Structure 1
Amino acid sequence: MSVIAEENVRGIGGSVFKEISADNDEDNQPTEIESLCMNCYQNGMTRILLTKIPFFKEVIISSFTCPNCSWSNTEIQSAGRIQDQGIAYTLKVKSKQVDMNREVVKADSATTRIPELDFEIPPYTQKGSLSTIEGLIDRAVAGLEQDQQLRNATAPEVAVKIDEFIDKLKKLKEGVFTLVIDDPSGNSFVENPFAPQKDEALSVSHYKRTPQQDAQLGIKAEDEEEKPSNDIDYMRNEVLTFNTNCPECNAPASTNMKLVQIPHFKEVIIMATNCDDCGHRTNEVKSGGATEELGTKITLHLTDVSDMSRDLLKSETCSILIPELEFELGMAAVGGKFTTLEGLLKDIKDLIVSKNPFTCGDSSTSDRTEKLKLFGEKIDKIMAGEMDVHVVLDDPAGNSYLQNVYAPDPDPEMTTEKYTRTFEQNEDLGLNDMKTEGYQDIRPP
């Protein structure tokens, strides 16, 4: 009902919503409307009453009865607006005489829970109702018993379990339990029989709704949520997907991309591609920022097998050195990766030993194969914590990272060195021919 219409009615005969009264008040009579019965499709009668619940708010109570098939239905709807906050009632039911007779307004959007039985009635599975605590339990029992005859014929084991649960629900009327009614619309209500005094058995809490709850209530669609002020903020909260082709079989595939903030470092872009046709999976990491003014050299002394779980970001411009093995892997050899130190060593082993074309076929020699096999065994020993070595990440672009497990305190086993790039390193990065400051257009007019 619109506000203007409501004000007009109030001006004629007072308030639209009348208090529930035992007196025979002509103004407090329901409105009767002839309507269609959804059971026998003949005409029945719907009675609608606009009323107030004491210490709560206005509601619309409707009741339908069909004189032809005797089918009936009752429903309650909130006559007010959706509240600014959701509401949750927690009631400790102890007294059968007092608590079981408490009036309860349960809106469509409310969730009803009994923690002791791990029982829950999800929202929008029942129409709104004006009942009592005992009535809520009886309604739940009736709902479970509704299809028991069919279950006994098709799934007797399930029917037996439901019968056992129904017995537990019925025993609640004589026992002590907790009832929780959680309604994000804020339009449900549990009576306080001691009002206006405080009810020690009933606790009421208000909370802010989530965007998903707003969408369920129809207040705001999920795709209409406020987006961040710029594209970068929006990308931080989204996984972007774009179509591509599998690098192995060239079949159509999809690549997922996400902007991730690495603690105590910077933002990076993680991309992952999965092919449903051949099962090939690949991932790649690129720096989300600019090239640093100085290069970075990170040296970690491996003293314990727990070092293998350190997070590691290796950019495409980073080279890897293990001085004890006289091993050096140049930049772009294994691409950009965001993994652990153990994952990086496994990739190195696969690249040098398993996927090396010079270890199989006509290109292989027994001497070379034996050396590479020995190198793989040393990598295994490093991952098992059986070798005392140093791992060096040398990135002239300064976009690589190795986790400091002692952060924000210094790591006693790790050193980070900043250095000025050489001319050759700037040439490899394409920085010598790149000028972004003090640039002037020298083309002829």
Structure 2
Amino acid sequence: MASRDPIVDVGLAVEAVSADDDAVPLHQIESLCMRCGENGTTRLLLTRIPHFREIILMAFECPHCNERNNEVQFAGELQPRGCWYRLEVPSGDQKMLNRQVVKSDSATIKIPELDFEIPPEAQRGKLSTVDGMLLRAVDELQALQEERKKVVPETAEALDQFLMKLKSCATGEIPFTFILDDPAGNSFIENPFAPSLDPSLTIKFYERTPEQQEALGFLVASSQSGERETQGIIESLTEGRRGDSVESRGEPHGSIGAVAGHRAIAQGNSEEVAAALFKYTAPEEVMTFPSTCGACGVRCETRMFVTKIPYFHEVIVMASSCDACGYRSSELKPGGQIPEKGKTITVHVQSVLDLSRDVIKSDTASVKIPQVDLELTSGTLGGVVTTIEGLITKISESLERVHGFTFGDSLDDQRKSKWIDFRARLIKLLSLEEPWTLIIDDALANSFVAPITDVLEDDHQLTFEEYERSWEQNEELGLNDMDTSSADVHTTQQLNK
């Protein structure tokens, strides 16, 4: 080696590459080669990945035995929900195979046609392409084939036949389905048509199970009792009763909330969110109960209250803050029963007054702006409470953050100019040079845009349209398998009394 510097602590290396500097340095440390036992060089670089967040790229190279490998470690936080990607790959489409894939340490890759699965521990955090992931799996399965042929020749022969099929998928000779499932929510498959929808790519977000929470390092020892406690608090709030949980407590109106100058509950919300919510109604009662921090996993407190929004329905506001790491989060949940119909909200934006309209976008809502060919699927950006101007700003910042990596030297000029032009058109919406239309489609009707008139019917630029949900939408929301017969009997008995 040309350099004989002492081995640098990895923690210090991470701090060095995490420095807030426009030109992030490529940090090098001396590390042990697990193949020959000599010292090699590991290079660390903090960067961002499209549709993704901060990651640390690590590349190791040994000059003695020429051993080389690379690894991805995630520098950001775990996401609130898991993600599930399904990519339909036709035969003979090399561009589909060249799509970028980020697989986190907790992600699983599946190919249903071959009954094949790459578990999380098989390939650690990796940045590659669709065919790169499959070829890597082929290489790992072939590593001990010679020994298998001597010991268990039948198994080796069956594996050879399977590897031929897997190679055919990797080279695009046969069509297949590529599924990426990550409970941490830190994996992704590239969408070359973004921000438009990709007809070959399906993306879903889901709530993690207690087992998945535990595997990711969350405290779930009393998850079932915690869920029952939380449900009881929600029921007590929506029914106007005080919760009877021992650990939860109710705090009187005025000690927390709008009357007290947005104390406590605002600590877990941004000022804009708190102002947007409290100007409708002040919470009659704020419930506080123990929970787990989504960033560091230690115990913290979550505050919850119910508020009524005019022309809308009851919503449950939840906010939590962690004293240990400073993490804050806020969430808006619908109150009451599930609406029988979905809702489409259309706003014709023509003036600055329209940009100031309050917007509640739930995590089941999709967003469309036809004038700029923008379409966000449900789950994108999560649930937010903001204004129309704030929503456009959030979309612009999100696109700039997740696509900053694609503006590098590897991007062709045509795609680069396309993204720059789209970003300019998106920001141009806020200047109101031309009127434009915002469409929010929510299958659960839990989204809302505030009118600018005292009477909703007098606001001719805002329209609400209800529609019957399709079977596919009900299936995705889990409504087809929902059994409410016992609840209906209980309700009937209460009414009879």
TM-score by length of 1: 0.46
User: Normalised by the size of structure 2, how large is the TM-score?
Assistant: 0.41
Structure number with larger C-alpha Rg: 1
